[in-house]
Amino acid sequence: MKKKTKKEKKQDSNPEESIEISAEFITTVPQLKNFIKKMPKCHTISSRLTATKNLLEIKLKELYQKFIELKGLSILSNWLKEYKKSVASGTDLTLDEECINTNIINLCQRIHLSKNDLKNSKIGKNINSLGKALPEGSDLRKKCEDIITKWKQMLENDEEKEEENNPETEQFQINNASEGNNNYAGNINNNNFLNNKTRRNNLNNSNMLSN
């Protein structure tokens, strides 16, 4: 894989379009909102490195949830997408770029993300794509694979809980218990309906984490 040129390492961003973020402890919602407004203009490696470090320093879970609500996770997802394209084109990540991606994944490990969070931000897809583009055996690829495995298990567990609490499932179980073997064909149809529904849900979950 080819090495980055000095121009590429600096990312040659327009100074009027790019800003630098300073290290800070984010402790309030207004502070977080201001921080998120700056994030789309973080085009340099140094600004993104500082931004991800600032996010990891957040202590309040409420602020992380607000970060998701304010589409901050989608911005990080777009950064991952950029780095994936860079790797796929044959360009090595610098150590600082690896650190940025590692910080993002560590942040995702820390925050509880729902199915909708993964779907809306597409961060699962972009982490999965980045991991596949990285060299086999690399630490960053392993981190990508580990968090995707964790999310797949979470989605499967959530689907099982939804099925258990689904009124349709309960009704089928009641019908099966009351009608017994006299309605064997009907029971098979009911089970096939539920199995097909489960397969569709699993496919939808898989699409949230892969392209």
pLDDT digits 0-9 by tens, 96-148:
999 999 999 999 999 989 999 999 999 999 999 999 999 999 999 999 999 99
The pTM of this model reads 0.76
Return the half-sphere exposure (C-beta side, CA atoms, 13 A cut-off) of residue 76.
Answer: 31
Contact criterion met (CB below 8 Å) for 209 and 121: no
Mean of pLDDT values over 29-42: 96
pLDDT of residue 12: 44
Please give the residue that has the higher pLDDT: either 196 or 74.
Answer: 74
Mean of pLDDT values over 148-167: 85
Residue 22's contacts (CB-CB under 8 Å, 6 or more residues apart) are 50
pLDDT of residue 159: 82
pLDDT of residue 148: 97
Question: Per-residue pLDDT for 204 more than 80?
Answer: no
User: Which three-class secondary structure state does DSSP give residue 91?
Assistant: strand
